[in-house]
Chains A and B, each alone.
Chain A
């Protein structure tokens, strides 16, 4: 039982991280029907920027939690800009081209960014400082580390913030309108170009936050780290119904749980395979996902 509860907590932590990445995929897909292959690279870049600033700021003698907060903000900002730049350079000129060419362009960007990271940051794992997140407390036989609490709280805050932004603000309304009908929303005065840019920025900022959390969770970042979590997060987005924000959150949690429980009870070597199998099974049997793909109000 304790083992089960422990795994449950681990699963929720990991699931929250996947949910954050999945949101970027789902929002971008909802608005321009593109699988943004470079999204995993925003996530990796976020992790790197995070470790760079945390190391630098704590060397300046700031309080660890101030460091964490500042580098989280900086890294989110940086990745948002990066995503906007990528969108302008690689996707915008292809807005009316065939789907295949946009996908290939996205794939090219992903390879480009990944190798850019490798060349400049080196091929070795970059360790995250551990003093910030050490310790935890035990409830019965279950150990909850402070790091997990930080991750859970941050994830919750970000998800609530995103929901508020999408459903309560003007720009959120514009995003939903553009996702529904680009021409019509253009006619009522919404600049679709700005909205698309903004969507990329938001998605990448969430991915950057996830990158930092993964850095803390596993203790290090690596230039290839965007690839496998990227596919898993995409699986989460598909599972929840692509284009559906609530769906992406639920899907992320499910994928995280499945991975942790599969690793804990079945086989840790094949844990990645389970996420891929879910992806394939969902696409085959239930291509609109569990929350539905075309619920207009939630489609962004």
Chain B
């Protein structure tokens, strides 16, 4: 298998202007070196030479998961929340920015997780809902002077409506057709945002969106309330933290409800689920709408944070990135998705000098994960064999 990697590469080493090697060669050699290391590790692993590393790691992993399983959930939740609340007070502005990004992607990842992980429908146009949410808040804020907090539910509702519009014609299709059609819909949404000049100002985007506001008690002038704009990263962090906690709680509750069980039944075997009395069409539509809601909420926050939206932010690559996070972490598993987001957002920040290679690594990691460990870093507990056997 190793030599096939050699074939992958001649392309990467050449440049058209009279077969010019030097500059591209340096990039090429890095990629080759990384692939070679991965391959060698894989070979060693197969030969059992890595047991001195893999066994303790595996033991640690299973211990962590066992501890997670037995320790009371409220305790874990309190610790996590306390850490999350304390975080911005301990870090610099840069750290807060990264954390905001991570939390936005947690919202997106968990929303997509409902569709892909729980219901088993591959959605490649998920970022469209993020875009719908962002543009909803942007337009409401610019034209009607709506506050962020009022626009948030509006963004959620509109995204859910978009989810239903996209979901209704597509859900009768087979799995892989669904993937390509959602991809097409995602592109249609982006093209509309790009070309509907009178509404969205086209590729120039919308400027001057207001930040979220808040009323804080002002003790200087007695007990009056003072209105402030939350523009600093520290303040925005708490806004998105609230949204992320809401998302996690909502997805958790959904996952273990009647609806969540029905979704998982559909994922495992649609025909059997239908026979057991699950209204598959309605529930699939619901999974689309619910997934879209969280995308829309995250989108509204994105618009409020950047105070600028343009169609550039809602490309297919963005969809693929969110999908890569969900897949890497583990389809259908909430801690898995969070882990996946941390792995794909926070780690690249650590290796900043390799930023160019980010998407390359995303793609490679996605394929590698599917080949090596298709259920992700932190697999969901309830994941049947059925959907893997075909």
List chain A positions with a Cβ less than 8 A from chain B: 33-35, 45, 48-49, 51-52, 55-56, 59, 78, 81-82, 84-86, 88-90, 93-94, 96-105, 107-117, 119-122, 126, 227-228, 231, 234-235, 238, 269-270, 272-273, 276-277, 279-280, 283-284, 287
Contacts and interface: CB of A to CB of B under 8 A. Distances in A.
B17 interface: yes
A110 B367 CA distance: 10
Contacts of B13: 120
B195 A103 contact: no
B374 interface: yes
A52 B184 contact: no
Contacts of B14: 52, 120
Interface residues of B, number: 69
B7 interface: yes
B198 to A, nearest CB: 13
A56 B19 contact: yes
A83 to B, nearest CB: 10
Nearest to B120: A100
B360 A121 contact: no
A255 B184 CA distance: 15
A107 B389 CA distance: 20
Contacts, number: 192
Interface in B209-244: none
B366 interface: yes
Interface in B1-22: 1, 4-5, 7-8, 10-19
B177 interface: yes
A273 B356 CA distance: 31
B371 A82 contact: no
A107 B366 contact: yes
B173 to A, nearest CB: 6
A94 to B, nearest CB: 6
A122 B23 CA distance: 11
B58 interface: no
B8 A276 contact: no
B324 A120 contact: no
A138 to B, nearest CB: 33
Contacts of A276: 184-185, 187-188
Given A104-B366, A112-B363, A283 B181 contact: yes
24 contacts: A48-B16, A59-B18, A81-B7, A82-B8, A82-B11, A84-B4, A96-B389, A100-B120, A100-B175, A105-B371, A107-B124, A107-B320, A111-B362, A119-B12, A119-B31, A119-B356, A120-B13, A120-B27, A276-B188, A277-B188, A280-B185, A284-B172, A287-B174, A287-B177
B11 A117 contact: yes
Contacts of A82: 7-8, 11
Contacts of B101: none
Contact of A98 (B179, B184, B188, B388): B388
Contacts of B28: 120
Given A104-B366, A280-B170, 8 more contacts: A97-B388, A100-B175, A116-B12, A116-B31, A119-B12, A121-B24, A280-B184, A283-B177
A68 to B, nearest CB: 15
Given A89-B1, A279-B184, A99 B12 contact: no
Q: Which 3 interchain pairs have the tightest Cβ spacing?
A: A108-B366, A111-B363, A112-B363
Given A98-B389, A112-B363, A231 B184 contact: yes
A257 to B, nearest CB: 19
Contacts of A115: 357, 359-360, 363
B323 A104 contact: yes
A136 B193 CA distance: 38
A288 to B, nearest CB: 11
Given A102-B370, A104-B366, A115-B359, A234 B175 contact: no
Interface string B297-328: 00000000000000000001100100110010
Contacts of A52: 14-16, 19
Q: Which of A51, A98, A103, A227 is packed against the most chain B CB atoms within 10 Å?
A: A98
B123 to A, nearest CB: 11
A283 B173 contact: yes
A277 to B, nearest CB: 8
A263 B192 CA distance: 15
Contacts of A35: 176, 179-180
B183 to A, nearest CB: 6
A270 B195 contact: yes
Contacts of A111: 317, 320, 324, 359-360, 362-363, 366
A51 B16 contact: yes
